[in-house]
Amino acid sequence: MGLTPAAWTSTRNSIQKLLSAHEPSLRDDKQLRAKAFIKQSVAVMHLPADIGDYTDFYSSKDHATNVGIMFRGKDNALMPNWVHLPVGYHGRASSVVVSGTAIRRPCGQTRPDETQPPVFGPSKLMDIELEAAFFTGAGNELGSAIPIGKAHEHIFGMVLMNDWSARDIQKWEYVPLGPFLGKSFGTSISPWVVTMDALRPFRIPGPVQDPTPLPYLRHDDPFSFDIRLEVAIKAAESSDASTVCKSNFKHMYWTMKQQLAHHTVNGCNVRPGDLMASGTISGQTPDSFGSLLEMTWKGSKTIDLGNGVTRKFLQDGDEVIITGFCQGDGYRVGFGSCTGKILPALQTAIP
């Protein structure tokens, strides 16, 4: 990841050539194939990088608007800064885990009755956040910035993400400094990094940004991507998963180039393998909302998972499956899946 885009492209081309049906190097060498290939059924997937730092942005205008309406009303849905800069916060890199890792229901302070003092216990409002994220390549020196015209040279590739959220813990703690325990207990990512070379055919223009961003955030080239995303939930009492969301990365208001340029404009240094997340990806229609908070409109309605099973928020034993792909002419570029199952809270954490 820390090499140049030219090195990334060269490596990808070499691997593609070796795997081609027309290339005899592997095709005709049985012993070499036995050393080079591992059966998928026995492969153990790991995090694709040693993640030094993790930043979570908040770049879906539809998601930010929905949440703002719920908590502040329609007239104050977006904070004044939202359309001027890519809002973000520093996440917890140590609790980013690879797909398939179970997630323990967190404990913390909540205030279910606003007329009473807070209480301690397991979160009762466990949620998902459909996200995508990119890994940074070569970094910048402390005190320097990555200009937006060169930001693409520092973006290695993308993964799927579920940034699990404990909404009741988050609601009580987030003022004035933002999320803490409501988010830091676990973030799941898919193990396969899809390189920007592979995604290049699926670049599309982003939405019109009004007002026009400040000069350091402006770029004219298309850098949104048509990535089709789905979220399914397999309830603890069900044998089959039910799709609850179909969305698309193209709904993002701020681009990855803008996120990285803004992240470093103050002289903050990034390093190879840093993880930058999109924030919840929601579209304009309810079937494209990327969180249960939005799907149930703050728990005011239920989601039908089939066979009489419904949910407002996640229960112990529920499994969440996020998938994504880009559709080409007769081919797909797949991201694989990002999965995780909710485990009960540790009783030893409960006084």
Task: Kindly list the distances between the CA atom of residue 94 and the CA atoms of 88, 259, 274, 345, in Å, as whole numbers in the listed order.
Answer: 18, 22, 12, 19
Contact 136, 276 (CB under 8 A): yes
Q: Please state the φ and ψ torsions of residue 233, each to the nearest 5 degrees.
A: -125, 125
Examine the residue annotation and report whether 251 is marked as an active-site residue of this protein. no
CA nearest 312: which of 169, 180, 135, 124?
124
CA angle 189, 194, 199 (to 5 degrees): 130
Cα distance between residue 127 and residue 164, in whole Å: 6
**In sequence order, what are the residues at sequence separation of 6 or more whose Cβ sits closer than 8 angstroms to the Cβ of residue 82?**
58, 61, 64
CA 72, 73, 74, 75 dihedral sign is negative
Q: Which of 46, 63, 84, 154 is catalytic?
A: 63
**DSSP state at residue 247:** E
Which residues form the catalytic set?
Answer: 63
